Amino acid sequence: MYENEINRRRTFAIISHPDAGKTTLTEKLLLFGGAIHVAGAVKSNKIKKTATSDWMEIEKQRGISVATSVMGFEYRDFKINILDTPGHQDFAEDTFRTLTAVDSVIIVVDSAKGVEAQTRKLMQVCTMRKTPVMIFVNKMDREGKNPFDLLDELEAELGIKVRPLSWPINSGIKFKGVYNIYQDKLNLYTPNKQKVSETIAVDIHSADFDNMVGEDDAEQLRNDIELIDGVYDPFDVKDYLAADVAPVFFGSALNTFGVKELLDCFVDIAPAPLPVDAVERTVDPHEEPFTGFVFKIHANMDPNHRSCIAFVKICSGKFERNVNYKHMRLGKQFRFSAPTAFMAQKKETVDEAFAGDIIGLPDTGNFKIGDTLTSGENLHFKGLPSFSPEMFKYIENADPMKTKQLQKGIDQLMGEGVAQVFTHQNNNRKIIGTVGQLQFEVIEYRLLHEYGAQCRWEPMSLFKACWIESDDPAELENFKRRKFQYMAKDKDDRDVFLAESGYLLQMAQSDFPKIRFHFTSEF
């Protein structure tokens, strides 16, 4: 019934190390979809220099993405949903969660730096989930590594077989263009940030080709292509969909070059929405009843309205406005009069959405990350972990007049999954746990600018926060009594043990064999 709608959906995330160019690539994909008309522009007379997908104030100041943004647009006959993720490792958790809501991934790699630590980590998540991956080697117009060396590095570092589907003619200042192996076309390079260069169908063995790129480069390209065909297996879409092979494209996102080739191949071969595992069973996207889960919550998308928005990935069927749906955790029916679709910060109300789409639901505190919504069936989607934080600080109120604002700000930001908050049992002080230093700065900035609350940080030395549980209630009580000064509760009121050193954690584990210690909150 909804076959056509669902089959034309392509939902994917763009991931990379910071500065490899993923936000720029996102912009250029939107340019081709006609969703924006000038790169880096918004629809006002003043062209702002910041990227469309980085709309939070702090992102513009720092020039980095700190929150996943969602954008949808139409291209050819496809409905494309892009999730642009933060590359900075301090926000890896947001990115890990985003990967549970997409059907495929494009990884951006800087041609000069090659594979970096963050990319490796994210690739492990893709491998674990068997998510199909495409690779875009960016910044070919700058001096970089030899393309063959890059391919070897991609295979070694990311643990996946690669197959180039386009090939660069030189790089850096001698960069002349890209030959599209997938379509047998030549794309000659003219640096232009706004326009798209022409693509020519050409036989690389013809004299015309020699005239276009020069004899030496033409000969070099023919040798390279021959070598590629000799070394790499012919490209098979089935291997890509099984996440065994990653197609590789070369280009320069900033100069809008090589991006269209990537997009055209992507919509042809990338998977339509895939089945999703719930605890009870596997849900097929083509089933008629609606199901979906919340993978992200964002506070204050519109600073004038103090609103939270829950991002829902639709797993099956069709979502309709003003229809009752069951909220599994609360066991209540909800209906939504203003569900929205996104184009970064601009949002529009939608009447219906289909499997594969991402919609925003206004949230007044009813949602948590990982919540399931259905037409009535009892289902629970799984796989949205919170990781044990690595850095801890006490958060104190710096302005006693603003206690309520601070409390509200902490509640909403922690509900977003920006970081985790623990309440110390011994002194009732609030502890914020993060994966990296930058998150503390983001929290402080957002508390001040979005909630008008000032906070002060106090250092504390902690090694790990672990969630604890046991099948023996007496043992659990004994542990909590003995370790009282190291016990805290998380925001869901679960018991958390605060270990001050690796040694103390080992001691606790050996003294209390009946207690299970968890380093992710999903157990």
Residue 266, class by beta-carbon neighbours within 10 Å (0-12 exposed, 13-18 middle, 19+ buried)? buried
Alpha-carbon distance 371 to 361, whole Å?
A: 12
Percentage of the chain surpassing pLDDT 90? 19
Indicate whether 41 pLDDT > 50.
Answer: no
What is residue 488's predicted lDDT score, i.e. its pLDDT?
93
CB atoms within 10 A of CB 32: 18
User: 55 falls in which pLDDT band (50, 70, 90)?
Assistant: very low
Structure token digits, residue 292: 């979906």
Least confident span in 141-145, 232-236, 383-387: 383-387
- Give CA–CA dist 501/289, Å, rounded: 49
Average pLDDT over residues 205-220: 79
Helix axis angle, 22-32 to 259-269, nearest 10°: 70
Average pLDDT, the chain: 80
Instruction: Answer with the residue of higher pLDDT: 8 or 349.
Output: 8
Angle made by CA atoms 125, 127, 130, in degrees to the nearest 5: 110
Average pLDDT over residues 302-319: 76
Lowest mean pLDDT among 55-59, 161-165, 194-198, 371-375: 55-59
Residue 66 has pLDDT above 60, yes or no: no
How much is the average pLDDT of 201-227?
Answer: 79
Which domains are present in the chain? 3-269 (3.40.50.300), 276-374 (3.40.50.300), 391-518 (3.30.70.3280)
Nearest to 94 by CA among 128, 118, 63, 71: 118
Q: b or e along 64-85 (b: 16 or more beta carbons within 10 Å of the residue's beta carbon)?
A: bbbbbbbbbbebeebbbbbbbb
Beta bridge partners of 522: none
CB 358 within 8 A of CB 11: yes
pLDDT at 186: 77
Res 323: pLDDT: 92
Q: How confident is the model over 408-419, as pLDDT tens digits?
A: 888 877 776 668
What's the Cα-to-Cα distance from 101 to each of 35, 260, 292, 383, 471, rounded to whole Å? Answer: 22, 24, 10, 10, 33
pLDDT at 39: 41
DSSP 498: E
Report the half-sphere exposure of 79 (CA within 13 A, side-chain side). 18
Annotate 186-237 with DSSP letters as a single string.
EEE----SSS---EEE--TTSHHHHHHH-HHHHHHHHHHHHHHHHHSPPP-H
pTM higher than 0.75: no
- Of the candidates 317, 177, 184, the one whose C-alpha atom is nearest the C-alpha of residue 250 is 177
Question: pLDDT value at position 190?
Answer: 66
Q: Are 245 and 160 in contact (CB under 8 A)?
A: yes
Can you tell me the distance from the alpha carbon of 520 to that of 387, in angstroms, rounded to the nearest whole number? 4
The predicted-structure confidence for 6-31, as pLDDT tens digits, reads as follows 888 898 888 877 777 777 888 888 77
Please report the beta strands in 42-172, taking only residues with DSSP state E, as ranges in sequence order.
69-75, 78-84, 104-110, 133-138, 161-164, 166-169
Q: What is the mean pLDDT of residues 276-305?
A: 79
Query: In the chain, pLDDT over 70 holds for what percent of residues?
Result: 82
Given a contact cutoff of 8 angstroms between Cβ atoms, the answer to whether 136 and 262 are in contact is yes
Tell me, what's the pLDDT at 42?
33
Q: Is 327 helix (H, G, I), strand (E, B) or coil?
A: strand
More confident residue, 1 or 367: 367
503 vs 182, which has greater pLDDT? Answer: 503
Which pLDDT belongs to residue 173?
Answer: 80
Residue 10 · residue 272 · CB < 8 Å: yes
Calpha distance 193→171 (Å, rounded): 18
User: What is the radius of gyration, based on Cα positions, of the chain?
Assistant: 25
Q: How confident is the model at residue 304 (pLDDT cuts 50, 70, 90)?
A: low
Instruction: Give CA 141 to chain center in angstroms.
Output: 27
> CA-to-CA distance for 207 and 255, rounded, in angstroms?
28
Query: How far, in Å, CA of 210 to CA of 104, rounded?
Result: 38
Per-residue pLDDT for 88 more than 60? no
d(CA 252, CA 458): 44
Measured from the Cβ of residue 209, the count of other Cβ atoms closer than 10 Å reads: 20
